[in-house]
Amino acid sequence: MTDAPRAAAEGSQYRALVVDDETALADVVASYLVREQFSAHIAHTGPDGLELARTVDPDVVILDLGLPGMDGLEVCRQIRTFSDAYVVILTARDTEIDTILGLTVGADDYVTKPFSPRELVARIRAMLRRPRIAADPAPVGASARPAPLQIGALRIDVAARQVSLAGQPIALTRMEFDILATLAARPGLVLSRRQLLELVHDGPWIGNDHLVDVHIGHVRRKLGEDPGARRYVVTVRGVGYRIGNGQ
């Protein structure tokens, strides 16, 4: 295992784990993160990356797909069983199926090689700025804990980050939850893909807008949505998405 933590200043705000078998690339990404006041840990194999994810408890994992010992998709899947760290997948395969597979196992974003380390760090910063409650701030004097959102049988507790349908809990990833809660907090409003991503990330979005489609597809599947009659997440053709009325 290579765990040469590149600790930035003592007060580093975030912990990052870079898992890539290309030593030079991993070193470059780690060095850019350190400049941004991250503490960065490095692993070069799937099993080592998984072990470090357990011991370091990172805030973000930058994970290559083509790893020796265990591929990146399996590492991501296992990380999701014990960590809610943001996961950015690095891949040399820019195909739709790779993207869908990566996001299905719980990744938040993906970057295709070759890439700009500066842009990668900017995307990571945008993720980490993302508010944990994807709703508008409560008015002055209102309760600090927002009331759960209720749409038909769907209940979204934005403070607890929990979703249930007809009383049954629904397990969503961070991005899936934030997209659903952002739509639910704005009933009647149609949001474009980019608007939705910028609201979720609380700032400008750098990346592929169509990642939203994949995440919404997962949300719909987990909610048991009928393709012919969307009750909760409705597509407005040519514009974007809005929350349904649950009927």
Q: Are residues 168 and 109 in the same domain?
A: no
Average pLDDT, rounded, for the chain: 83
Q: Rounded distance, CA 175 to CA 179, Å?
A: 6
Predicted confidence at residue 137, as pLDDT, reads 43
Predicted confidence at residue 188, as pLDDT, reads 86
Sheet holding 60-64, edge to edge: 38-43, 14-19, 60-64, 86-91, 109-112
Q: Are residues 30 and 113 in the same domain?
A: yes
| pLDDT band (50, 70, 90) for residue 133 | very low
Whether residue 65 has pLDDT greater than 70: yes
Collapsing DSSP states into helix, strand and coil, what is residue 34? Answer: helix
In a domain, 220, yes or no: yes
In a domain, 140, yes or no: no
Q: Are residues 154 and 124 in the same domain?
A: no
Q: Are residues 153 and 66 in the same domain?
A: no
Q: Are residues 181 and 90 in the same domain?
A: no
Q: Are residues 124 and 208 in the same domain?
A: no
In a domain, 163, yes or no: yes
In a domain, 55, yes or no: yes
Collapsing DSSP states into helix, strand and coil, what is residue 229? Answer: strand
In a domain, 48, yes or no: yes
Q: Are residues 109 and 25 in the same domain?
A: yes
Average pLDDT over residues 232-236: 91
In a domain, 133, yes or no: no
From 168, 165, 166, 167, select the one nearest 180 (Cα to Cα): 165
CATH number of the domain encompassing residue 161: 1.10.10.10
Predicted confidence at residue 199, as pLDDT, reads 86
Predicted confidence at residue 209, as pLDDT, reads 78
In a domain, 1, yes or no: no
Predicted confidence at residue 139, as pLDDT, reads 44
Whether residue 215 has pLDDT greater than 50: yes
Predicted confidence at residue 142, as pLDDT, reads 45
Q: Are residues 153 and 121 in the same domain?
A: no
Between 2 and 15, whose confidence is greater?
Answer: 15
Average pLDDT over residues 50-64: 93
Q: At a CB cut-off of 8 Å and minimum separation 6, what does 94 contact?
A: 112
Q: Are residues 91 and 160 in the same domain?
A: no
What domain range is 216 assigned to?
149-243
Instruction: Give how far Cα 69 sits from Cα of 62, 66, 217, Å.
Output: 17, 10, 31
CATH number of the domain encompassing residue 114: 3.40.50.2300
Q: How many independent structural domains does the chain possess?
A: 2
- Domain boundary (70, 99, 128) is at 128
Average pLDDT over residues 122-131: 77
Q: Are residues 180 and 227 in the same domain?
A: yes
Q: Are residues 29 and 110 in the same domain?
A: yes
In a domain, 71, yes or no: yes
Predicted confidence at residue 9, as pLDDT, reads 44
Predicted confidence at residue 136, as pLDDT, reads 43
**191 DSSP assignment:** B
Model pTM score: 0.63
- Domain boundary (96, 128, 160) is at 128
Predicted confidence at residue 160, as pLDDT, reads 85
Q: Are residues 178 and 111 in the same domain?
A: no
